[in-house]
């Protein structure tokens, strides 16, 4: 999987606090990058209303494979595609790339199940979100 595998990208500026005592970005931050690229996409492209919408996405599974370290300062190019789109869920595939690199420093998956905000019961992926996700299905 290289940079060309991902139809959507978000540049995320690394922060001083992202580094750990070993001089590279701590592993927990990679999951934050996953969450950021996914939710930025859902809000900006899919129209997800995180404050008042009737539907929210809950993470039910995530995984990260570390291939190379990232360090502050710099920018992470977070690549995103929808690997599998179901009735009420989506499996995202993510690649985190150092600036100018075609090979990922990390790859991962993240599964959202869309549920009603109040009852937390699965609901169909909302139409506008489904349309946005179909646009990045890989």
Per-domain residue ranges of the chain: 3-134
Could you tell me where the beta strands, DSSP code E, fall in the chain? 8-13, 55-66, 75-85, 89-98, 106-116
pLDDT in tens, 5-60: 999 999 999 999 999 999 999 999 999 999 999 999 999 999 999 999 999 999 99
pLDDT number for residue 70: 96
Measured between its terminal Cα atoms, the distance across the chain in Å is 11
Give one DSSP letter per residue of 94-126, joined into a string.
EEEEETT-SS-SEEEEEEEEEEETTT--B-PPP
111 confidence band (pLDDT: 50, 70, 90): very high
pTM here? 0.95
Cβ atoms of 114 and 124 within 8 Å: the answer is: yes
Architecture of the 3-134 domain: Roll (3.10)
In the DSSP assignment, the letter for residue 52 is T
Q: How many CB atoms lie within 10 A of CB 4?
A: 8
Dist. CA 41–CA 7, nearest whole Å:
12
CA distances (Å), origin 25, targets 13, 20, 62, 64: 12, 6, 19, 14
Dist. CA 86–CA 12, nearest whole Å:
28
């Amino acid at each position: 999987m290289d940079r060309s595998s991902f139809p959507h990208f978000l540049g995320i500026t690394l922060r001083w606090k992202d580094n750990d005592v070993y001089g590279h970005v701590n592993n927990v931050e990679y999951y934050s990058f996953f969450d950021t690229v996914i939710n930025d996409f859902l809000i900006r492209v899919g129209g997800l209303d995180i404050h008042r919408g009737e539907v929210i996405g809950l993470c039910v599974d995530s995984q990260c494979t570390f291939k190379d370290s990232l360090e502050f300062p710099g920018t992470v190019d977070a690549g995103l595609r929808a690997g599998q789109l179901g009735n009420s869920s989506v499996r995202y595939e993510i690649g985190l790339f150092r600036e100018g690199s075609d090979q990922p420093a990390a790859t991962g998956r993240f599964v959202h199940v869309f549920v009603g905000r109040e009852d937390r019961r699965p609901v169909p992926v909302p139409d506008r979100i489904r349309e946005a996700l179909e646009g990045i299905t890989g």
